[in-house]
Chains A and B, each alone.
Chain A
Amino acid sequence: MIIVTRVAILMTRLLLTVVTIVFTGAARGDIADPYPSTYSPPAATEVVFTNARILVGNGDAIERGYVWLADGEIVAVGAGEPAGTGAGQQVIDVSGSWITPGIIDVHSHLGVYPSPSYAPHSDGNEATSPVTAEVWAEHSVWPQDPQFPLALAGGVTTLQILPGSANLIGGRSVVLKNVSSRTVQGMKYPGAPYGLKMACGENPKRVYGSKGSSPATRMGNMAGYRAAWIKAQDYQRKWQAYEEKLADFEASDKEDKTRPEPPGRDLQSETLVGVLEGEILVHNHCYRADEMANMIDLSREFGYRITTFQHAVESYKIADLLAENNICSAMWADWARFKLESFDGIEENAALVENAGACAIVHSDSAFDIQRLNQEAAKALAAGQRMGLDMGIETAISWITLNAARALGLEDEIGSIEVGKVADIVVWDGNPFSVYTRTKLVLIDGVVRFDRAKGIVPVTDFELGYRTGATQ
């Protein structure tokens, strides 16, 4: 069985490489992948956790079972005792503990809004123009942000760092592994698709309206998106025409013919074309149901797909529409009323979205909540159960694991404890839906990155002298 698994892993990796090549096709520059990930996990010991209660992430649960990790992958998982363990594996009896997939946060600003939070650290919003599709969040990430280890202690293994919401189109997101590194390249999730941050509602119109420029209204917001997509479509056509000419040229005898000149590069449109070509995933900050409906129409007008609505506090009002359009909602459990467009937030939101057959995700957008996404999921689940919806923790765990992976385009790699997937695992000292439960171990690619008992936790440069030992 293990051999079959390894083949599957190799296939996955091969596929990943292919995917990476396709992605970089969107980059019109000379270098295919100018900002590559340099992350590569250290060698992991082969380990088998036994006697664990397992929440698989895909809706399943195992009352008492094992998880077998080798070479950074999950090679076996099941109920009861594992067969075939020997001297080659470290077998750890974790009776009383629960195991979940690594927690995934699809909405974070760690690194781009680090602590301490002073203006020189404020790198999340390029609030100088309503469309800044040309900026990339990874170029703002400070890897020494002390909030990363706090999130790790909360079980977060993968997180998407987004630009802020000041702009209609804020720029590219980046998906990170929550590992300590001197560089952002060392944290960057290899092969993960980029995301594009878009924002509805109050923020863009406030930021630019208050400067006396457009957008100052919600209709101004819509006009702004449309103008940007029209420009991107023009750009796409120019490049398509060039590529056709180039192909003709290459196929010709080339005599008496001049090689066609490529059009000038435009970083903004490059990213937007990446969306139009399906390589970059749209993460659209949008609170109100009516605005989400407008954004769905917008996506149809220009032929792109919305992967998630972020902060979707009113998804429960249009859960049917979201299910039909296969759009995920990333939601808080109970944070609302901090601005008018969040006024109608209800605790049952995630459960109602799940119940409608749409994709529900619990996200943080917060250096606090990212430490306790399991607790946020618990509150959201409890609200649903109280109103009589029939769902349990096996489902709710997917809101912070497999559904989140799906929103990042990584559902084949992370988000559930299934054979062939990456060994991102959290061992909890009890039921993760209990307030009294804390993480014991957090593994990323099979490597222990956090061990509460042994005091293994990254200490960022900034914390030295100030906070050593404060992350727990």
Chain B
Amino acid sequence: MNKLTIRFCFCVCLSAFVLSMPAVAADYLIKNGRLVTSSEAGVIDRGDILVRDGRIEQIGSVLDVPGATVIDAAGAWVTPGLFDSSTYLGLGEVESSTVRSDHRLRDSDMGAGFQVALAIDRHSQLIPITRIEGVTRAIVKPSAGSEVFAGQSAIIHLAGTRDFIVNDSNAVFVELGEGGRRYAGGSRAKALIDLVDALREAKEYSNHRRDIERARFRDLRESTLDLEALVPVLARDKPLVIDVDRASEIEMVLDRLGEFDIGIVLVGGREAWKVRDLLADRGVSVVIDPLDNIPRNFDLLATRLDNAAMLAAAGVTVAFMTSDLFGDNRTLTQGAGVAVANGMDWQDAVNAITSNAARIWGLADSYGKLERGMDADIVIWNGDPLELMSAPTTMLIKGQPVKLESRQTQLRDRYKDLRVFSR
């Protein structure tokens, strides 16, 4: 028997074995949960979820599946794993001028070609620290440092396992506003010119690749790596993510980018509420930190706590992020709750950290809802998931239980009884 035959036999035999004992494949059965599906099914007051092979196999009023490991939620809230739409997870352990991190290029002219996925440390302690708050997925993003293009973001899951990168390049980030002004040489007008120019050149590049490869084309301003990164944006395979706050600038940017058929996501968006109808009309999604209401520069004077509520009410797809990118990604549910306190619909706020994030970031087929076929990122909570005093009690990421432990819980346990220490 050659190797191929052996492998074939192994597969067939294994399949036969599994088929004859269906219960063996049933991994986990979560029973009696108050299921916040983030799907059209809404909240199911009492329901079960069958998790098999890392995915949600069945949801609703199930089930007794022999052999499945039963997790009794006993009426507790169950949500999809949460999504933080802006982090530097794995790119640095601490925010500091001396402890270096990998999120920003300083001495390089690379722009869109910069791909942070290549730098992420899956053993970062910030991953369990964030995970413990119910977060199972996150955008890891680049920041602009030398030009308006920051680079490509990644999506990770927070199990910390070898397969932690869900998408090593899901979007291209651009910084306009005050950052863009700085990186473009002194004016936000130039930043927008640079952006439009690069997209036009990327279009040329994708139309004349062969000529360019044979050097039968004029010299290009951008590097081929940077242009390659923009081709999927022009094909609508990835969104262009624009960090911008000022309402007028949002209008101008959307007008100028009208010549391209691209998907646009705004991040920051602190004055987005002022142009919410335009955003809804153009199908532009917005990622905001719902706690951010300080008018700390002239770009965001109109920032306010009901930004999220007004955007959602206007029909804009909203997702939430935390702003404290290294230190703490722990305010995600708090921010969602504050958005509700300031007028946002509760389910919209939950969607902003689950299904809306999935939609915006191109993950809607596999994550973001408690729905058959989705990856089993599931969190069981000891209360309303948006409440300050609630916390996860059980978490699965892609069907596997993860520990609710971190370096911080270890510190807590070390110092909880000070009598063991001598002076």
In the complex, per-residue mask of B78-95: 1 if CB is within 8 Å of any chain A CB, else 0: 000000000000000111
Once A115-B294, A340-B96, A378-B389 are accepted as A-B contacts, the answer to whether A438 and B341 lie under 8 Å apart by CB is yes
Instruction: Note all chain A residues with C-beta closer than 8 A to B295.
Output: 115-116, 146, 463, 466-467, 470
- Give bound CA distance, A221 to B390, whole Å: 41
- Whether A381 is near chain B, meaning CB under 8 Å from some CB there, is yes
Q: Indicate if the CB atoms of B388 and A378 lie closer than 8 Å.
A: yes
Q: Indicate if the CB atoms of A382 and B326 lie closer than 8 Å.
A: no
Which residue from A321, A336, A381, A472 sits with its C-beta under 8 Å from B342? A472
| Nearest A residue to B92, CB-CB | A337
Instruction: Note all chain A residues with C-beta closer than 8 A to B389.
Output: 378-379, 381-382, 385, 433
Once A435-B386, A467-B301 are accepted as A-B contacts, the answer to whether A338 and B324 lie under 8 Å apart by CB is yes
Minimum CB–CB distance from A450 to chain B (whole Å) comes to 15
- Give bound CA distance, A386 to B404, whole Å: 12
Which stretch from A101-109, A123-131, A280-288, A341-349 is at the chain B interface? A341-349
Which residue from B306, B341, B412 sits with its C-beta under 8 Å from A435? B341
- Whether B291 is near chain A, meaning CB under 8 Å from some CB there, is yes
Which residues of chain A from 432 to 459 have a CB within 8 Å of any chain B CB? Answer: 433-438
| Nearest A residue to B93, CB-CB | A337
Minimum CB–CB distance from A392 to chain B (whole Å) comes to 11
Which stretch from A32-40, A242-250, A255-263, A367-375 is at the chain B interface? A367-375
Instruction: Note all chain A residues with C-beta closer than 8 A to B408.
Output: 336, 344-347
- Whether B8 is near chain A, meaning CB under 8 Å from some CB there, is no
Q: Indicate if the CB atoms of A368 and B294 lie closer than 8 Å.
A: yes
Which residue from A118, A320, A375, A438 sits with its C-beta under 8 Å from B418? A320
Minimum CB–CB distance from A368 to chain B (whole Å) comes to 6
Minimum CB–CB distance from B351 to chain A (whole Å) comes to 17
User: Using a Cβ cutoff of 8 Å, how many contacts connect chains A and B?
Assistant: 134
- Whether B65 is near chain A, meaning CB under 8 Å from some CB there, is no
In the complex, per-residue mask of A315-336: 1 if CB is within 8 Å of any chain B CB, else 0: 0111111000000000000111
Which residue from A146, A334, A375, A436 sits with its C-beta under 8 Å from B330? A334
- Give bound CA distance, A382 to B294, whole Å: 27
- Give bound CA distance, A338 to B304, whole Å: 25
Interface SS of A by simple majority: loop
- Whether A387 is near chain B, meaning CB under 8 Å from some CB there, is yes
Q: Indicate if the CB atoms of B94 and A116 lie closer than 8 Å.
A: no
Q: Give the interface residue-count category, chain A.
A: 35 or more
Q: Indicate if the CB atoms of B391 and A435 lie closer than 8 Å.
A: no
Minimum CB–CB distance from A407 to chain B (whole Å) comes to 22
- Whether A91 is near chain B, meaning CB under 8 Å from some CB there, is no
Q: Indicate if the CB atoms of A339 and B338 lie closer than 8 Å.
A: no
| Nearest B residue to A348, CB-CB | B412
Which residues of chain B from 271 to 326 have a CB within 8 Å of any chain A CB? Answer: 291-298, 301-306, 324, 326
Give me 13 A-to-B residue pairs in the complex whose CB atoms sit less than 8 angstroms apart, sorted by A's number.
A116-B298, A117-B297, A335-B328, A337-B129, A337-B326, A352-B412, A378-B389, A435-B338, A435-B387, A470-B303, A472-B304, A472-B305, A472-B306
Contacts A379-B334, A433-B389 supplied; 18 other A-B pairs, CB < 8 Å: A116-B295, A116-B301, A318-B418, A336-B328, A337-B94, A338-B94, A338-B327, A340-B96, A343-B94, A367-B296, A368-B294, A372-B338, A378-B388, A378-B389, A387-B412, A435-B340, A467-B304, A470-B302
Q: Which residues of B contact A (CB under 8 A)?
A: 93-96, 99, 126, 129, 291-298, 301-306, 324, 326-328, 330-331, 333-334, 337-338, 340-342, 386-391, 408-409, 411-412, 415-416, 418, 423
